[in-house]
Structure 1
Amino acid sequence: MTGRQPRIDYVTKDYEGFKQGMLNQIPLLLPDWTDRGESDFGVVLVELVAYVADILSYYQDRVANEAFLPTATQRRSVTELLRLIGYQIDPGLAASAVIHVDVSADHDVDAAQLPFQVRTAGRPGEANVRFEVTRAFNLRQLNNRISLAAVAALPGGATAVELPPDAHRLAPGDEIYLEEQAQGAPRPRRSPLLTVTTIRRLANGDDEVSWLPPLPQPFTPAVTSLRGNNVTATHGATVTDEPVFVADGTSGQRFALARTPVTHLLGKENTGRRRSRPELEIRVDGAPWQQVESLFASGPADQHYATEIDENDVLTVVFGTGARGSVPPAGAEVRARYRVGLGVVGNVGAEALTVPTALAEVTAVTNPFPSEGGADRESTAEAKIAGPGSVIAQERAVTLEDYRLLAEGLAGVGKAKARVGLRGGYKVVQVVIAPENPNTVPPPPPSAELRATVARHLESRMPVNRMAGVEVLDPVYVPIDITVEAHLRAEAGQSQVIEQVRLLLNGLLAFPAQDFGRPVRAGDVFSALFPVPGLEFVLLRRFGRRDRPATDAATLADIPIGENELAFAGTIVVVPVGGVR
């Protein structure tokens, strides 16, 4: 090409830039075109081309961003990118609850009567939350309520009680609890759930019923009863009318389940990168096939299937290729039986599950303790951290960061911090954990069961002869008291500004925003309150830990938090100055 070459601005990415760039080329390429009015047909074409170029430029940027994990924003992109490293975004967990059942006669709930379902009574406009028992269990009328009035004492630390043989039908392995109904008390006081370990016939003819763990506090026998007939139920409802999938005999067949979200429960041993498994049964021509995490290790004759979950929580069943996993033959009927329901919606309060499956012998049901363990699906932001972390840790605990990542990967653990400590003169790894999704202030400590689970999980992955073991410790929750003097503009309403300031300060100290050892900075307070409409400026009059003396307002500094400590919102006081009452 001869003549002067057009100069192209390759960083132009928007409509105005494209339009101006084309208009700048007109004198060079078409000097006789002098009309730049909006009504000119050529200008209309320039604007249309600029419009299309702007759209294509946006798509170009989005495609580039979605191709890399740090810049991807769409859940589908993150899901597919993490699948390349074998990481499945966690779909969430279903809650579990202990159900107490009163019966008018002994009854054995067998496979034909399963699932045994209980649900909340429901409020107008609210959906019922359904729980199911999916294994056979026995109910005995004598175990409804066993009076302990004849027992001499029930001190704290007690692990056994004597009962007449005709007063109970308990058996080793049964789950029980004690319930004390004091006169005038609005609600009964209950012990934690106990497990019957042994039943021994004594010389006087009575049965000694032993349990673990020991009672944490004393009970008054005269108003205390022992409650049996307890069974564990999990959040979810069974789907039995799923459409039949007819296999075509091809390699890598797959089909998607019709309903979401599929119930996921925590496995007994958390050995893979996925902390839960779906409540799903697949039968091909009536024969059950086995679910595996990956078909990579499956042989040609192995009747295995794997599952995938997309960005919309739709679960897809994937069969083998013939080389890795067997192929369902053409014409085979594939039937799926599964359950749907999970998440924090299943974390219901005590005595909320009161509507049972219709059984003639069942007179009443309830959950004596709040349900727990329900967790929503892993967020995109969490997955972008946990996915690469799973590759770094490789299910082995070598560095302190490995211990932290492995602990936080367990169900029920919201935050973790690892450090080296001493036990009996030997080095141990001390892991401080905080429970997941706390909805109370102050947050609760981790349960003994959760601490034991974390310890077993980490000790099975630590190198030999490196440390003497793992200690799982409770966190130290530190209440942070803040008093803010909020100076308002003349036209600003006090109530609205106070409410927004209080909301922002509580959010600043909320569980997701804090971490072990992270100091609470005064600058973060000012930064959080800066955008509040109607707020002219603020003064911090109190900013400190509740367990330490108040700091003089003129010398306010960042609040130090220890490596085993976690800050939370204490007393938040907002003092308005000016504005409209």
Structure 2
Amino acid sequence: MAETASAAQIDYTSRDFTGYRESLLAYAGEILPEWTSRSPADFGVVMVELFSYLGDIISFYQDRIQDEAFLATATQRSSVVAIAQQLGYQPHVAIPAGGQVAFSPAPGLTSPVVLPAGSQVITAYIEALDRALTFETVSDVIVPAYTTPVPQVVALVEEGATQGSRTLALYASTSGQPATTVRVEDLGASDGTQAQKFSLAQAPVLLDTVRIFVDDGLGGTEWTRVPDFLLTRASDLIFTTYTDDQGVTHVIFGDGTTGAIPATGLKIAAAYRTGGGSTGNLPQGSIIDLAEGLPGVVVSGSSPMSGGADEESTDQIRASAPRVFRTQGRAVSERDYADLALSVAGVADASAVVRSASAVSIFIIGPNAILPSEGQRDAVAQYVQARALTGVVVNVVNGTLVPTHVGSSTLPVLISVQPRYRRDTVKLSVQQAIQRVFTPPQTGFGSRISISQLYRAIQEVPGVEWAVIQMMARSDLPQSGTADVVCRDNEIPIVGNVVITASGGV
């Protein structure tokens, strides 16, 4: 029996149904030579196939679990974010758009009116969102009394809305700041345990606006938000935040060794704003009214709203995290300057160009090919400059978007659709496939888009029999021919007009 068992071999690398079935039958043939039936109706074969089926399922989940441990193969956002955080990279959340709004006094306003910081103004109803967008003033605004000509007061606004259901009085700080009040949302009460976690009720949360207060019933003490608990003391009144793959933002306190634990029974309250995203990038005049009417004050105009960006996509995290980890917080090479810029919220891609031994220009672009605002460019310059070599001046400018037209009214992309495929469906799929070729991370600064890339993308669409691309060119070049699109270090190709003519199919 010992010799028979040792002679049997199972190929453990064969982990699908067919492999398990063959291995089990081969093993059975050695230990049960009298069993020779291989009929699908044989009870022994049925049992072998059931075990093979179960083994195939288990192997699938083992492979999926293993894939989630690596940045290149992970598919769940939570896995990608966790790996990025291990590399010291914090994925960016949504960024609110901002701009200016003009307020004017209405006839009959006889004395100045103060609009406090946080006053809300709204857009008209936006059908795509099924709601109006809310913006808030950044600082107090004094609207003067009505005169002729009618005066205007301009205020800075940011997209988003302050959350909270009650007002909390804060203790005066030790730095001399007077006692104030703040609108907060109650999260619960501390139970005195280590690493307590509380969840914010609304989403998406603008993380930079999150403030946490511990309320003893007589007033609130503000705790400080930190990126992590490293190098902190047991007495530090600190907390961290993170947003999970469902969009819920969580607040985490210390464990008594790194970061203090809120005393048992004290209420935990949060002040924060929600909003952000590219939906806030609106044209001039989009803001039309105050959210809560104030007698004698009207909205008389607004500038374009810009700078809004969506949260960092999973593919962007996958590409950016290793680049930022490689720099280790210092800029030495040309590539380091570009990689460091990715650590700043709102930067999806960056390219650095050395102008001289003492000057580096960094070109940046936001998510969805949105041009970053002046404030975002200043933030990048400040962040990178602090990590640059001594004597090097960092200049940050927006990258240049280069629309690329594929096909035209006279030279369209020709596709033939296979029988039994709907022509309109295949045509739409081809257009989407062409657009994906120009979507990050497939493209970036200095990219080269070849005609073969487009042919490959088109031919991979189900239902396409053949295709002919008659024209592909940058928008600033003659619209003829199919030469490769070559971009400079400060340029990123984006899709322009796509004109397709389809034949065949249903």
- TM normalised by structure 1 equals 0.72
Deviations for 1:351-384, whole angstroms, at most 9, x for unmatched residues?
A: 3333424344244226612322222221222112
- What SS class does the counterpart of residue 331 from structure 1 fall into? coil
Identify the match of residue 96 of structure 1 among 91, 95, 98: 98
* Structure 2 residue 132 is matched with structure 1 residue 128: yes
CA 1:353–1:453: 2 relative to 1, 3 Å: same
Which residue identity lines up with residue 417 of structure 1 in the other structure? S
How far apart in 2 are the matches of 1:482 and 1:406?
A: 34
The equivalent residue for 1:165 is none
CA 1:44–1:342: 2 relative to 1, 3 Å: same
* TM superposition shift of 1:463: 0.8
Is the 8 Å Cα contact of residues 71 and 83 (structure 2) preserved in structure 1? yes
The equivalent residue for 2:335 is 401
How far apart in 1 are the matches of 2:76 and 2:418?
A: 43
The equivalent residue for 1:60 is 62
How far apart in 2 are the matches of 1:85 and 1:412?
A: 19
How far apart in 2 are the matches of 1:495 and 1:320?
A: 57
Identify the match of residue 281 of structure 1 among 204, 209, 212: 212
* TM superposition shift of 1:521: 0.7
* TM superposition shift of 1:435: 4.7
- What SS class does the counterpart of residue 312 from structure 2 fall into? coil
The equivalent residue for 1:562 is 488
The equivalent residue for 2:456 is 527
Q: Which has the larger radius of gyration?
A: 1
Alignment of 1:404-443 (within 5 A): 404-422=338-356, 427-438=358-369
CA 1:62–1:448: 2 relative to 1, 3 Å: closer
* Structure 2 residue 183 is matched with structure 1 residue 259: no
The equivalent residue for 1:515 is 444
Alignment of 1:88-237 (within 5 A): 88-104=90-106, 105=109, 106-110=112-116, 115-122=118-125, 126-133=130-137, 135-142=139-146, 146=149, 227-237=152-162
CA 1:487–1:311: 2 relative to 1, 3 Å: closer
How far apart in 2 are the matches of 1:520 and 1:58?
A: 36
CA 1:367–1:399: 2 relative to 1, 3 Å: farther
Identity in percent: 29
- Per mean C-alpha deviation after superposition, the further-off stretch among 373-382 and 511-520 is 511-520
* TM superposition shift of 1:8: 0.4
Is the 8 Å Cα contact of residues 211 and 222 (structure 2) preserved in structure 1? no
The equivalent residue for 1:2 is 3
CA 1:436–1:316: 2 relative to 1, 3 Å: closer
Is the 8 Å Cα contact of residues 346 and 374 (structure 1) preserved in structure 2? yes
The equivalent residue for 1:323 is 257
Identify the match of residue 390 of structure 1 among 306, 324, 329: 324
Which residue identity lines up with residue 562 of structure 1 in the other structure? R
How far apart in 2 are the matches of 1:352 and 1:489?
A: 43
* TM superposition shift of 1:546: 4.9
Aligned Cα RMSD in Å?
3.3
* TM superposition shift of 1:78: 1.8
Which residue identity lines up with residue 282 of structure 1 in the other structure? F
Alignment of 1:46-57 (within 5 A): 46-57=48-59
* TM superposition shift of 1:544: 3.5
- What SS class does the counterpart of residue 141 from structure 1 fall into? coil
CA 1:55–1:30: 2 relative to 1, 3 Å: same
Deviations for 1:202-246, whole angstroms, at most 9, x for unmatched residues?
A: xxxxxxxxxxxxxxxxxxxxxxxxx32424233134132744422
How far apart in 2 are the matches of 1:456 and 1:302?
A: 27
* TM superposition shift of 1:90: 1.9
How far apart in 1 are the matches of 2:389 and 2:351?
A: 19
* Structure 2 residue 446 is matched with structure 1 residue 541: no
Is the 8 Å Cα contact of residues 103 and 361 (structure 1) preserved in structure 2? no
* TM superposition shift of 1:84: 2.5
Is the 8 Å Cα contact of residues 187 and 199 (structure 2) preserved in structure 1? no
* TM superposition shift of 1:52: 2.1
CA 1:481–1:6: 2 relative to 1, 3 Å: same
Is the 8 Å Cα contact of residues 349 and 366 (structure 2) preserved in structure 1? yes
Is the 8 Å Cα contact of residues 417 and 423 (structure 2) preserved in structure 1? no
How far apart in 2 are the matches of 1:494 and 1:68?
A: 40
How far apart in 2 are the matches of 1:252 and 1:364?
A: 48
CA 1:351–1:279: 2 relative to 1, 3 Å: farther
Which ranges of structure 1 fall in alignment gaps of 5 or more residues?
A: 148-167, 169-226, 265-276
How far apart in 1 are the matches of 2:487 and 2:84?
A: 34
How far apart in 1 are the matches of 2:71 and 2:389?
A: 31
* TM superposition shift of 1:498: 5.3
Is the 8 Å Cα contact of residues 93 and 345 (structure 2) preserved in structure 1? no
* TM superposition shift of 1:141: 3.2
CA 1:452–1:115: 2 relative to 1, 3 Å: closer
* Structure 2 residue 271 is matched with structure 1 residue 340: no
Is the 8 Å Cα contact of residues 257 and 316 (structure 1) preserved in structure 2? yes
Is the 8 Å Cα contact of residues 99 and 233 (structure 1) preserved in structure 2? no
The equivalent residue for 1:173 is none
CA 1:280–1:84: 2 relative to 1, 3 Å: same
Which residue identity lines up with residue 122 of structure 1 in the other structure? Y
How far apart in 2 are the matches of 1:65 and 1:404?
A: 29
- Per mean C-alpha deviation after superposition, the further-off stretch among 358-367 and 396-405 is 358-367
Is the 8 Å Cα contact of residues 131 and 237 (structure 1) preserved in structure 2? no
Which residue identity lines up with residue 526 of structure 1 in the other structure? Y
Deviations for 1:74-98, whole angstroms, at most 9, x for unmatched residues?
A: 1222222233334332222222342
CA 1:253–1:40: 2 relative to 1, 3 Å: same
Which ranges of structure 2 fall in alignment gaps of 5 or more residues?
A: 167-184
The equivalent residue for 2:165 is 240
* TM superposition shift of 1:65: 1.6
Deviations for 1:156-200, whole angstroms, at most 9, x for unmatched residues?
A: xxxxxxxxxxxx6xxxxxxxxxxxxxxxxxxxxxxxxxxxxxxxx
- TM normalised by structure 2 equals 0.81
Which residue identity lines up with residue 139 of structure 1 in the other structure? V
Q: Between Structure 1 and Structure 2, how many residues are aligned?
A: 473
- What SS class does the counterpart of residue 114 from structure 2 fall into? strand
Alignment of 1:370-519 (within 5 A): 370-422=304-356, 427-438=358-369, 450-465=376-391, 467=392, 469-473=393-397, 475-483=399-407, 484=412, 486=414, 488=416, 500-509=429-438, 513-519=442-448
The equivalent residue for 2:292 is 358
Is the 8 Å Cα contact of residues 350 and 369 (structure 1) preserved in structure 2? yes
* TM superposition shift of 1:45: 2.8
* TM superposition shift of 1:126: 0.6
Is the 8 Å Cα contact of residues 100 and 228 (structure 1) preserved in structure 2? yes
Deviations for 1:541-578, whole angstroms, at most 9, x for unmatched residues?
A: 33444545577x6xx543433333333445544456x6
